[in-house]
Structure 1
C-alpha cells in the first residue's frame, strides 16, 4: 500500500494554552481553526487547517516537552512577509536558504518552543 499524502501533523502543547495557540497559529500565521470532533474535544488542544487541506493538530502532552529538533516543514507563499510578521512580534527567524536546493526556508519556534520550518519553492 502506498502513502498518498499526509493528512495531518501533530505537535505537542501544554494543557490550557488554547488561547495562545489560536493567537499564534490563526492570528499570526493565518491558519483556520478546525473544530475537533466531540469525542476528542475534551482532551484539549486545537486543530488548524491550511490551504489544500493540510492540518496541524496541537495536542496536549503531559509532561510537555517542546520538539526542538523534530518539526513539520510547511510550504508557504510569500516567505518574506511571514518572516517580517514573526520578527515584528519577537519570534526569532533563522534562515537556511543555502541548505536545500530549490527552496528558500527558515526555522522559527511557536510560543511553546516547538520548531517549525517554513519553505517557499524558488522555481
Structure 2
C-alpha cells in the first residue's frame, strides 16, 4: 500500500445562516480558539473557521439546518475540570458523564450555540 492516513485535518459543524458572530463569541470568545481566515472563494458561502490545537473546526452554513444531537466531535482537553468550571461560571450548561475508570477517561458534553453536540474529554 502506497498511501497512509496521518489524522484528521478538520471537522465541520453545521449552523444556520447568519451564525458567524455567535460562533465567534462561543468558539473564540469563550473557548479561546483563534479564528482562521477562510480562503477568499469560500467566504461568500458564510460560516467561520477556528483552530483547535493542531486541528481546525469549520462552522458551515446549512440552509435547512438541523443540529447534530448524536453524531459529534470529541475534543481532548488537559485540565478538563477547569474547563468545566469555567464554562459553568459563564452559564454554559454541561452534561456530565460519569468517570469511567475502566475506560480511563472522564468527559462532559455540551451543546454549541446552534444545538450541535460537542464532547470534551481527558484521558486519565
Asked if these proteins are the same fold (TM beyond 0.5), I'd say yes
RMSD: 1.4
Instruction: Give 4+ residue runs of structure 1 displaced > 6 Å after superposition.
Output: none
Partner of 2:51: 49
Q: What is the count of residue pairs matched by the alignment? A: 121
Provide the TM-score with structure 2 as the length reference: 0.91
Name the SS for the 2:26 alignment partner: helix
* 2:29 pairs with 1:24: no
- 1:69 alignment partner in structure 2: 70
- Over 3 Å counting, the alpha-carbon distance change for 1:40 and 1:85 in structure 2 is same
1:91 offset after TM fit, Å? 2.0
- Gapped runs of 5+ residues in structure 2? none
Do 2:19 and 2:61's aligned partners in 1 also have CA atoms closer than 8 Å?
no
Post-superposition offset of 1:50:
1.9
Larger Rg: 2
| Residues 73-115 of structure 1, C-alpha deviations (whole Å, 9 max, x = no match) | 1001211121112222322212222287121111111011100
What is the alpha-carbon distance in structure 2 between the residues aligned to residue 99 and residue 32 of structure 1?
Answer: 33
Q: Distance in 2 between matches of 1:42 and 1:56?
A: 18
Aligned to 1:102: 104
